[in-house]
Chains A and B, each alone.
Chain A
Amino acid sequence: MTDRMFARLRPDELDELAEASYRRRRREDLARTFSSTRNPAPAPRRPLFLLATGAVAAVAAGAVVVSTGVLSGAPAGDTPPVAASSTPGSTTGGTGASPATRIDARSFLLAAAATALREPAATGDYWYVRQRTTHPTSHLPEEFWTEARKLQLQEQAEVDRTGAEDDELVAINEKYNKKLENLRKSIQPDGPPYRAYIVESEERWRPKRLGGTHRVKSSDHEVVFPSPQDEAKWKEEGSPKLAEDKPKSVDDNLPRPLSIPNMDITMQNVGDLPTSKKALAGRLRAQFAKLPDPHKEFDLYLWQTTVDLMTAPTTPGTRAAIFRILADQPGITSHGEVEDATGRAGVGLAVESDDGYEFQLVVDEDTAELLEYSVAEKGEDTVRVTFEEFGWTDKLGRRPQR
């Protein structure tokens, strides 16, 4: 999960600068290169990639042992399928459904598998996704950052002095975390003075062809306050800027994975994923075993993978297989009928992590498409992503024709 956060840290400016350099230097570089001589005598080729196989084995060996029987590929009996049902008292969505009419997760997922299979397979040059994200934001005053930077420099110096021994580093980290925490408390003793959320839209074109252009366009950055009091408090604090409001479009041609926990799944091979429950489950289980995250939980991995694959150009067969795998998970519960952020009706499915976070999916009952996912802590949203549209298109920058 740390990887996903880290992936988002990549500065967009890198792509802008790289594109500018590429345009400026291409002609000159090519001309200069072609006027220089090539080395005609082939030197012995170094076996550069023979190490890869051993490396994977090393990761697997170092990983936490995963209990079997979690996934559907395991013999039936260990995981009573009846467990995949709704939890009492979780009929959110305001339908007031009685227990008798409440939709249970397993039946719904099996029906969704059948629906997914009916949807036609399509193809194109770019896979388009438009999504709307809502997440909390906050602002710490400049005095915090000035002090925090000082602490960070001190910490860096201490790390440099001590070397890179694991135990020492952890101890230094902890010491400075404590200092940062105290600093924060000294500036905002009761936590942030107001709550605010950013709502933003993102459109993404993923090229089917390796080396094709990938585009991310973000727009409509809007700050939303949950109550007038929050907004008043924000104004009282001098209305600090909370969101980057200029629209942004970034092109690049990096070979990016479609799914951070499944690095080997790409735009080129996502259409070849297994279409049977058993084969797909086996593949996912093997992948989970390889993940180096010390805090990994299978339910969360599966949830994350579902989000990634349901919003990618997987085949109807693979989508059906995902639903069947989910149907066998005892940890997945149903919230019954719910609405997504844009008011569309769907069925809410949830899984809870060990540290009390709830991960929800909203699936369209008629098309088995993923409408939304969200992460909540104690029933309160921390992030909500709504998929407004996805599909194939033949042109970069163009939306799919429906």
Chain B
Amino acid sequence: MDDPEERFTLLYDRYYRNVLGYVLLRVDQGVAEDVCSETFLVAWRRLDELPEQVLPWLLGVARNKLAKQRDVRYRREDLVERIAKLTSEQEHVAWDVAEHVVDREQAISALRALPEKDVEAMILATWYGLTPGQAATVMGCSARAFNVRLHRARKRLDSRLRQEMGAARRPMRQTRGHFAEES
């Protein structure tokens, strides 16, 4: 395992898709691939100094690459619009087991009302499962600031969803167990 090329290949095979998925939330695929290649090039140059938790570090490098690009090709798109674009129109049922039933469209509409950094905080916490410390590394802020952001994002999203749900709630007149009868 001391061979640097082998170590790097393992790193690449394990995390390339994760990093690319994250960059894809900002730019189109061709540009995303370039940003991703550059990110891994940085990892290669610093192979001996990589932190133990390498995914947050890689995401942080990719995020900086995106932020520093002056090239018009690299212009970042709105995060929520990218999510909406990547989501197929018909795939409209996202539900929350312990809450209410929510359309994907409704949920995305609720996201639109959040500041972009709040959405990013939710993405790092729930899609990537990063701890506050790790996510703060990616976003280049303090863990405290990240927590405040995440807390606020959840609060807003929750209240927004509750309101949307109130508007969408439909009367259902079936008795318990009708699913069993249908099957």
Verify if A244 is at the interface (C-beta below 8 Å from B): yes
B16 CB to nearest A CB, Å:
5
- CB contact between A155 and one of B33, B113, B144 (< 8 Å): that residue: B113
The reply to whether A30 and B129 contact each other, CB–CB distance below 8 Å, is no
Q: Which of A50-58, A68-76, A270-278, A391-399 contacts B (4 or more CB under 8 A)?
A: A50-58
B93 sits at the interface (CB 8 A): yes
Q: Among the listed A21, A159, A300, which residue makes an inter-chain contact with B98, where contact means beta carbons less than 8 Å apart?
A: A300
Q: Known contacts A1-B96, A55-B147, A254-B18; is A192 also within 8 Å of B170 by CB?
A: yes
Given A39-B45, A51-B133, A137-B93: A244 and B174 interface contact (C-beta under 8 Å): no
Q: Are A33 and B158 in contact (CB under 8 A)?
A: no
Q: Contacts A5-B95, A17-B24, A38-B45 hold; do A52 and B158 have CB atoms under 8 A apart?
A: no
Chain B nearest CB from A115 CB (Å) reads 24
Are A195 and B8 in contact, with the CB atoms below 8 A?
no
Contact call B150/A164, Cβ cutoff below 8 A:
no
The distance in angstroms between the C-alpha atoms of A304 and B96, with both chains bound, is: 11
B81 nearest CB neighbor, chain A only? A156
Among B25, B36, B44, B56, the one with the most A-chain Cβ atoms within 10 Å of its Cβ is B44
A208 touches B (CB below 8 Å) = no
CA distance A18 to B14 in the complex (A): 12
Q: Tell me whether A122 is interfacial, beta carbon within 8 Å.
A: no
Instruction: From A3, A17, A55, give the contact of B131 (CB < 8 A).
Output: A55
User: What would 14 A/B residue contacts be, using CB atoms closer than 8 Å?
Assistant: A7-B126, A12-B91, A22-B17, A22-B20, A43-B49, A48-B57, A49-B134, A52-B143, A138-B168, A169-B115, A181-B167, A260-B126, A304-B97, A373-B97
Cα–Cα distance between A173 and B167 once the two chains are bound (Å)? 13
Write the B1-44 contact mask toward A (1 if CB under 8 angstroms, else 0).
00011001100111011101100110001001100110011001
Q: Name the residue on A nearest B57 (C-beta).
A: A48
Q: A4-B96, A30-B12, A177-B167 known; A52 and B131 CB under 8 Å?
A: yes
Binding-face segment, A79-87, A100-108, A379-387: A379-387
When the two chains form their complex, are residues B49 and A33 in contact, meaning their CB atoms are under 8 A apart?
Answer: no
Cross-interface CB contact of A32 among B18, B37, B111, cutoff 8 Å: B37
Contact of A293 among B83, B131, B158, B177 (CB under 8 A): B158
Cβ contacts under 8 Å, A137 to chain B:
92-93
The stretch from A313-321, A326-334, A338-346 touching chain B is: A338-346
Q: Is the CB of A341 within 8 A of B175?
A: no
A198 to chain B, nearest CB (A): 6
Q: Does B72 contact A (CB under 8 A)?
A: no
- The CA of A227 and the CA of B94, in the complex, are separated in Å by 24
Asked if B64 is at the interface of the complex by the 8 Å CB criterion, the answer is no
How many residues of chain B get a CB closer than 8 Å to chain A's CBs? Answer: 106
Binding site for A on B (CB under 8 A): 4-5, 8-9, 12-14, 16-18, 20-21, 24-25, 29, 32-33, 36-37, 40-41, 44-49, 51-53, 55-57, 83, 86-88, 90-105, 107-109, 111-113, 115, 122, 125-129, 131-134, 136-137, 142-144, 146-147, 150-152, 154-161, 163-164, 166-168, 170-180, 182-183
Given contacts A48-B57, A49-B133, 15 further A-B contacts (CB under 8 A): A2-B157, A3-B122, A5-B95, A9-B111, A14-B24, A22-B16, A26-B13, A29-B40, A43-B46, A48-B137, A50-B133, A295-B158, A338-B177, A340-B180, A357-B99
> What does DSSP make chain A's interface, helix, strand, loop or mixed?
mixed
Q: A164-201: which have CB < 8 Å to B?
A: 164, 166, 169-170, 172-174, 176-177, 180-181, 184, 191-192, 195, 197-199
Main secondary structure of the interface of B (DSSP, over half): helix
With A5-B99, A17-B24, A382-B101 as contacts: A59 and B93 at CB distance below 8 Å: no
The 5 closest A-B pairs by CB, nearest first: A52-B133, A55-B143, A181-B167, A55-B132, A11-B86
Seen from chain A, the residues whose Cβ lies within 8 Å of a Cβ on chain B are: 1-15, 17-22, 24-26, 29-30, 32-34, 36-39, 42-43, 45-46, 48-56, 58-59, 62, 92-94, 134-138, 145, 148, 152, 155-156, 159, 164, 166, 169-170, 172-174, 176-177, 180-181, 184, 191-192, 195, 197-199, 211, 224, 226, 241, 243-244, 252-257, 260, 263, 292-295, 300, 303-304, 307, 338-343, 353, 357, 359, 373-377, 379-385
Decide: B17 and A18 in contact? CB cutoff 8 A: yes
Answer whether A177 and B49 are a contact pair too, CB < 8 Å, given A56-B132, A244-B91, A342-B183. no
Min CB gap B128→A, angstroms: 7
CB-based nearest A residue for B84:
A11
- Count chain B CB atoms within 10 A of each CB in A9, A48, A145 and give the residue with the most: A9
B156 touches A381 (CB 8 A): no
A255 vs B96: C-alpha distance in the bound complex, in angstroms? 21
Instruction: Determine the residue in chain A with the shortest Cβ distance to B18.
Output: A254
Contact present for A49 and B98 (CB under 8 Å): no
A292 to B52 Cα, complex, angstroms: 27
CB pair A136 B17 closer than 8 Å:
no
Instruction: With A29-B12, A52-B134, A136-B172 as known contacts, state yes or no: A18 contacts B113, CB within 8 Å.
Output: no
If the complex has contacts A51-B143, A55-B131, are A184 and B14 also in contact, measured as CB distance less than 8 A?
no
Contacts of A340 in B (CB 8 A): 180
Determine whether the beta carbon of B174 is less than 8 Å from that of A226. yes
**Complex: A45 Cα to B8 Cα, angstroms:** 19
CB atoms of A59 and B147 under 8 A apart: yes
**A19 cross-chain contacts in B, Cβ below 8 A:** 17
